Amino acid sequence: MESSGRLHAHLPDARAEVLRLSNVTKRFPGVLALDGVSFELRRGEVHAVCGENGAGKSTLMKVISGQYLPDEGTIVYKGKECRFASSLEAQAAGIAIIHQELNLVPHLSVAENIFLAREPRRAIFVDRARLRIDAQRCLDRLGVDIKPGTLVRTLSVAQQQMVEIAKALSLDAEVLIMDEPTSSLTESETSQLFKIIHELKRADVAIVYISHRLDEMAEIVDRVTVMRDGRYISTDRFSETSVDEVVSRMVGRSLEDKFPQRTSVPTQEVLFSADALVRTNVFGPVSFTLRRGEILGFAGLMGAGRTEVARAIFGADSLDSGTVKLGDETLAIRSPIDAIRHGIAYLSEDRKANGLSVKMPVASNVTLANMDAVSSRGGFIRFAEEAAVAQRYVDMLGIRTPSVKQIARNLSGGNQQKVVISKWLFRDSRVLFFDEPTRGIDVGAKFAIYELLDKLAAQGIGIVMISSELPEILGMTDRVAVFHEGELVTLLDTRQTSQEEIMHYASGRQGASQ
């Protein structure tokens, strides 16, 4: 293992260095985001960068890709010291980034997004035919069934992620930064992406790979660098370390258990029920009950209908038929406002688009769903009270922010997710739909969110947890509702099932698994 702040000088590897950062420091108001970080990247390697949310990974990548200028330190690219003034300048030099938060234009087509500001032209006009052909070539390379003319806003989060990847591949970069590229991909899509990564390695492309899914790295990663609290901790060959060692360095302690000991025990009282819910050509009929203090898992393959059911219950999409009840009361939910008034909350899988007001401060986001509680009779916000409420949740959830006045978009992904959770906790919701609640969140923060879910369930709140990670489903739920092609095909007792049985039903096979 390398000592803190120092890189191995003589790892037995003949590949040439393409990028080196030395003692890079980056400050923001109230935050030292990078503290003298050094990092080195070689041609034809996949170099993982690991750390908890707020460790400085994304800031480091933004320095490399020209979005931020370092306050101190040097960047040497292809043997020459450089300072990229913008991401476009870095792109022109051969450095591309696939962002964790999707960076697409919703009202434009897939092809237009892939070649945005780089469209092929015929004289002064965009060559539409060539644009479609070039975009299709990028999509075919990824093996995805997405048409170049499709509007991005009509795509699922997973499909948009593949468009982001296609956009980066179209640049023919020499350095490619992948920030959580598999966070919303299915197993088959991830497998296809890994094939592309192996192709890029053979073509001598240097890849920086950031992911909280540490177990998947063994297939592609050559070296791994760990960061903590804005500082460099270590660099190792991935084959010469272990996931447990990496996690231990990330959090500064060992994590023996991935999931907390469950303290909540659901009662037999039915808190919430859905009966014969139908949204034509999307899902149904779907029926289930949620007991007081229960964590109910929604499992299934991408597009199985899990998110669609939750959104319809929350009033974000319309239902064609069916009824929902809170206790014995039949609810008429025509919009999210109706759902919120009845104590039903939905945490979206896409926090940036549907969970946060990213240009507003943390305090405003925490109180957004319950502004009456911090406002006077005349409708004026009592800012001191709002700040006090926000600070309470910052302390409770361990949100890393210099102040509750910090703009939400400046927080790391995991801390943004905690702000969204705070919003619904402050609303005193009785039924919580958490859609991929730990997506893009590091192992330490995941454990804290798991503990929070258990604590909420122990208070009698009913929780539906939608997750694509089966270990998470098995580690945190009481029962599992398995979806396939818009149908809820079975309900399983978590203690008596397995990943194999859940996948058996999720893939559409009938009867008990073998």
CA distance 233 to 322: 55
pLDDT of residue 173: 84
Residues 63 and 154 in one domain: no
pLDDT band at 88 (very low <50, low <70, confident <90, very high): confident
- In the Cβ-directed half-sphere of 98, how many Cα atoms lie within 13 Å? 29
> Which range, of 153-157, 332-336, 390-394, averages the lowest pLDDT?
153-157
514 belongs to a structural domain: no
pLDDT tens figures, 491-509: 999 999 998 899 889 887 6
The single-letter code of the amino acid at 46 is: V
Among 142, 165, 188, give the residue marking a domain's end. 165
> Cis before residue 12, ω within 30 degrees of 0?
no
pLDDT at position 3: 40
What pLDDT was estimated at residue 4?
A: 40
pLDDT at 476: 95
Q: With 50 as the cut, is the pLDDT of residue 12 above it? A: no
Q: Is 71 among the domain residues?
A: yes
Domain CATH for 315: 3.40.50.300
The owner of tokens 């702000």 is: 419
Domain that holds residue 460: 270-506
> Is 406 among the domain residues?
yes
Gap between the Cα atoms of 316 and 101, Å rounded: 22
Beta pairing class for 46-50 and 72-77:
unpaired
Give Dmax over CA atoms of the chain in angstroms.
Answer: 71
Does the pLDDT at position 366 exceed 90?
yes
Whether residues 451 and 490 share a domain: the answer is yes
Q: Are residues 60 and 189 in the same domain?
A: yes
Shared domain for 320 and 429, answered yes or no, is yes
Q: What is the pLDDT of residues 269-302, one digit of tens each?
A: 999 999 999 999 999 899 999 999 999 999 998 7
Q: Indicate if the alpha-carbon torsion angle 113, 118, 121, 124 is positive or negative.
A: positive
- Domain identity same for 337 and 462: yes
Residue 511 lies in a domain: no
Least confident window among 127-136, 190-199, 284-293? 190-199
The residue among 254, 281, 303 that closes a domain is 254
User: Closest by alpha carbon to 250, among 429, 385, 51, 442?
Assistant: 51
Same domain flag for 179 and 279: no
Say how many C-beta atoms besides its own lie within 10 A of residue 463's C-beta.
25
In a domain, 263, yes or no: no
Banded model confidence at residue 101, pLDDT cuts 50, 70, 90? low
Mean pLDDT score, 168-179:
87
The two structure tokens encoding residue 423: 């919003």
In this model, does residue 320 exceed pLDDT 60? yes
Residues 111 and 69 in one domain: no
Of 115, 141, 165, the residue at which a domain comes to its end is 165
Question: What percentage of the chain exceeds 70 in pLDDT?
Answer: 94
The tens digit of pLDDT for each residue in 211-244 reads 877 878 889 999 999 998 899 999 999 999 988 8
Same domain, 247 and 194: yes
> Which one, of 98, 186, 155, lies nearest residue 350 by Cα?
155
Q: Is residue 448 located within the same domain as residue 353?
A: yes
> 123 with 211, same domain?
no
More confident residue, 111 or 418: 111
Query: Does some domain include residue 128?
Result: yes
* 3-state SS string for 219-276: HCCCEEEEEECCEEEEEEEHHHCCHHHHHHHHHCCCCCCCCCCCCCCCCCCEEEEEEE
With 0-12 CB in 10 A as exposed, 13-18 as middle and 19+ as buried, what is 505?
A: buried
Regarding whether 17 and 114 lie in a shared domain, the answer is no
Residue 261 lies in a domain: no
259 domain residue, yes or no: no
| pLDDT for the residue 397 | 80
**117 and 29 co-located in one domain:** no
Tally Cβ neighbours within 10 Å of residue 264. Answer: 18
Check if the beta carbon of residue 461 is closer than 8 Å to that of residue 272: no
Q: Looking at the predicted structure, is the pLDDT value of residue 13 above 70?
A: no
Look at strands 223-228 and 46-50 and give their pairing. Answer: parallel
pLDDT score recorded for residue 253: 59
Contact by Cβ (8 Å): 151, 128 = no
Residue 355 pLDDT = 76
Q: What is the pLDDT of residues 247-276, one digit of tens each?
A: 888 877 555 667 888 888 999 999 999 999
How many domains is the chain built from?
3
User: Could you give the C-alpha distances from 108 to 8, 151, 458, in angstroms and in order?
Assistant: 46, 6, 46
